[in-house]
């Protein structure tokens, strides 16, 4: 791309929104600082028309484009590539329409998750996804990775929460899939092809998202149990007892809290005594009868959770429990879990895994991985947190040397896939999991992905080198 082309970009989206030199700084590396690049320029379009103009020029010149939203990913999917144009959607941050009766909202791709939460809360509604990076993560990136989080157990991933999208194609055409329908059986499901594609097929610029009524009250607790099998038994007990109202069921072992307290020495431990298997549990009450304070000021939903946990305590299925009595205590419990990225990435080298397993295989996974690690690297440390209710484990290993990272990663893949699991649950593939894709993804599936990529991005300019391994590496 020549200097004259850069001038065309300035004319198309505004000179001050074409960043070069040192102004590119924040976009030249990802959040983890593991991946970095030297892009030609960072572009900050303000509308779908701006994005289309950029893509037309990039297509004509064969220039790679890396779409990026909040840049909060941990697999390198949004990191800059040398010689590319970084396309930041951060200025496209408008919330166009909140439809309370239809339970939907229209947003641009650069809307920050926490901002969306705040805006729709004024209508008694919520967008039911949350995770630690909610203050910076943007809707476009969340759609591009099919993000999950702590509430997937009740509400699902981004695919489940999205009704429609708008996508700018590699040649600059605008694909309008901004449907508000819950059912539409009119051909291929193009929407879900772009969700989870990590910007390799086009640029998501807008979305129609589902909303749900905000729970009128929450019952939140830290609970310790004898083991993971008891944890899953407790989950089923709570789901039955509450009619499926469990919103979060998060696993944090003793080692996680030990590391958390090292990084945050002013924090309080969750229990008076340390326990090995600890859970953050939250139940959301929609009915007024469950959320209206009684004469003594207690909430029925909280009282009911206490009763359910007391039953399990009497039966030996619960060791200890602390139930939040106010919003401050609830926030303190969530702060421990939402610091997981900072906690797990605070040591290097590391093997950062984001796997999914059938629920009844989770305990066996940890047992088998302990044996495998002992054989590969007896000095390695492991640290885990998990969205236990949906089988998503963030299993981080700190090897005694960088040369052991690949053997450990392959061991995790071996164990997880043998149990019917996946090596990627919610963080995406990006760059870090390309070797896993090459080793573990069905070759027929990879061939179909290559065919789709070639048909939809024939010049190969959309976030090249991410998500799909080079065909020469496996074909």
Q: How far apart are CA 222 and CA 336, in angstroms?
A: 11
User: In this structure, is the dihedral angle defined by the CA atoms of residues 132, 105, 456 and 13, taken in order, positive or negative?
Assistant: negative
| Exposed / middle / buried, residue 364 (Cβ in 10 Å: 0-12, 13-18, 19+) | middle
Q: How far apart are CA 196 and CA 202, in angstroms?
A: 11
Strand order through the sheet with 18-19: 18-19, 41-43, 85-88, 65-68
Whole-model pTM: value is 0.96
Q: Which domains does the chain have, with CATH numbers?
A: 3-88 (3.30.43.10), 95-213 (3.30.465.10), 217-340 (3.30.70.2190), 347-437 (3.30.70.2740)
The structure tokens listed for 374 are 């002992």
Which residues 6+ apart lie within 8 Å of 76 measured at CB?
30, 32, 34, 35, 430, 431, 432, 466
Q: In degrees, to the nearest 5, what angle opens at C-alpha 167 toward C-alphas 165 and 173? A: 140
Each as own residue / partner, the long-range contacts of residues 288-293 (CB below 8 Å, 24 or more positions apart, any chain) are 288/216, 290/216, 290/217, 291/215, 291/216, 291/217
User: In this structure, is the dihedral angle defined by the CA atoms of residues 317, 319, 325 and 328, taken in order, positive or negative?
Assistant: negative
- The number of beta carbons lying within 10 Å of the beta carbon of residue 136 is 16
pLDDT in tens, the chain (475 residues): 788 999 999 999 999 999 999 999 999 998 888 889 999 999 999 999 999 999 999 999 999 999 999 898 989 999 899 999 999 999 999 999 999 999 999 999 999 999 999 999 999 999 999 999 999 999 999 999 999 999 999 999 999 999 999 999 999 999 999 999 999 999 999 999 999 999 999 999 999 999 999 999 999 999 999 999 999 999 999 999 999 999 999 999 999 999 999 999 999 999 999 999 999 999 999 999 999 999 998 999 999 999 999 999 999 999 999 999 999 999 999 999 999 999 999 999 999 999 999 999 999 999 999 999 999 999 999 999 999 999 999 999 999 999 999 999 999 999 999 999 999 999 999 999 999 999 999 999 999 999 999 999 999 999 999 999 998 776 5
Which residues 6+ apart lie within 8 Å of 27 measured at CB?
19, 39, 42, 68, 71, 80, 86, 88
Pairing of β 351-352 and β 381-387: unpaired
pLDDT, position 33? 85
CA distances from 275 to 278, 321, 367 (A): 7, 11, 18
Enclosing H/E stretch for 166:
strand 162-168
DSSP 384: E
Q: How far apart are CA 309 and CA 342, in angstroms?
A: 31
Nearest to residue 87, comparing CAs of 134, 40, 135?
40
| Exposed / middle / buried, residue 439 (Cβ in 10 Å: 0-12, 13-18, 19+) | middle
Which residues 6+ apart lie within 8 Å of 375 measured at CB?
none
Q: How far apart are CA 213 and CA 103, in angstroms?
A: 8
Q: In degrees, to the nearest 5, what angle opens at C-alpha 428 toward C-alphas 426 and 433? A: 125
pLDDT, position 363? 96
Q: How far apart are CA 280 and CA 252, in angstroms?
A: 8
Q: How far apart are CA 51 and CA 89, in angstroms?
A: 9
Which residues 6+ apart lie within 8 Å of 314 measured at CB?
none
pLDDT, position 475? 58
Cis peptide before 127 (omega within 30 of 0): no
| CB-CB contact of 264 with 219 (8 Å) | no
pLDDT, position 90? 97
Enclosing H/E stretch for 8:
helix 3-13
Q: How far apart are CA 291 and CA 288, in angstroms?
A: 5
Nearest to residue 74, comparing CAs of 464, 430, 450?
430
Residue whose pair of structure tokens reads 């619960």 in the numeric block? 318
Q: How far apart are CA 100 and CA 95, in angstroms?
A: 14
Residue whose pair of structure tokens reads 């976009």 in the numeric block? 27
Q: How far apart are CA 261 and CA 267, in angstroms?
A: 6
pLDDT, position 414? 97
């Amino acid at each position: 791309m020549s200097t004259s082309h850069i001038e065309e970009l300035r004319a198309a989206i505004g000179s001050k929104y074409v960043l070069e030199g040192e102004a590119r700084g924040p976009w030249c590396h990802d959040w983890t600082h593991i991946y970095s690049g030297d892009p030609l320029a960072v572009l900050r379009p303000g509308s779908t028309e701006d994005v289309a103009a950029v893509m037309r020029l990039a297509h004509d010149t064969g220039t790679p484009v890396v779409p990026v939203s909040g840049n909060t990913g941990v697999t390198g999917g949004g990191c800059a590539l040398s010689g590319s144009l970084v396309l930041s959607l951060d200025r496209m941050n408008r919330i166009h329409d909140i439809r309370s009766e239809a339970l939907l909202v229209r947003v641009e791709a650069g809307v920050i998750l926490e901002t969306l939460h705040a805006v729709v809360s004024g209508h008694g509604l919520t967008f039911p996804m949350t995770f630690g990076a909610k203050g910076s993560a943007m809707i476009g990136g969340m759609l591009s990775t099919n993000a999950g989080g702590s509430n997937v157990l009740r509400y699902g991933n981004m695919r489940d929460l999205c009704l429609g999208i708008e996508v700018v194609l590699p040649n600059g055409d605008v694909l309008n899939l901004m449907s508000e329908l819950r059912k539409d059986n009119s051909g291929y499901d193009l929407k879900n092809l772009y969700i989870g594609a990590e910007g390799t097929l086009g640029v998501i610029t807008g979305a129609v998202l589902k909303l749900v009524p905000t729970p009128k009250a929450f019952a939140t607790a830290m609970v310790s149990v004898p083991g993971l099998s008891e944890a899953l038994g407790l989950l089923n007990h709570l789901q039955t007892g509450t009619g499926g109202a469990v919103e979060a069921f998060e696993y944090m072992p003793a080692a996680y809290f030990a590391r958390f307290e090292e990084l945050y020495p002013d924090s309080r431990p969750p229990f008076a005594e340390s326990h090995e298997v600890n859970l953050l549990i939250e139940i959301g009450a929609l009915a007024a009868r469950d959320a209206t304070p009684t004469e003594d000021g207690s909430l029925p939903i909280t009282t009911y959770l206490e009763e359910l946990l007391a039953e399990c305590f009497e039966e030996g299925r619960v060791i200890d429990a602390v139930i939040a009595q106010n919003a401050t205590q609830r926030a303190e419990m969530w702060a421990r879990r939402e610091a997981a990225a900072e906690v797990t990435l605070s040591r290097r080298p590391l093997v950062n895994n984001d796997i999914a397993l059938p629920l009844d295989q989770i305990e066996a996974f940890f047992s088998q991985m302990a044996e495998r690690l002992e054989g590969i690297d007896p000095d390695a440390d492991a640290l885990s947190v998990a969205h236990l209710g949906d089988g998503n484990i963030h299993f981080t290993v700190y090897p005694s040397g960088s040369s052991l990272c690949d053997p450990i990663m392959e061991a995790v893949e071996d164990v997880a896939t043998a149990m019917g699991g996946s090596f990627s649950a919610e963080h995406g593939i990006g760059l870090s999991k390309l070797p896993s894709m090459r080793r573990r993804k069905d070759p027929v599936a990879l061939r179909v992905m290559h065919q789709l990529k070639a048909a939809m991005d024939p010049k190969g300019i959309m976030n090249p080198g991410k998500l799909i391994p080079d065909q020469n590496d496996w074909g």
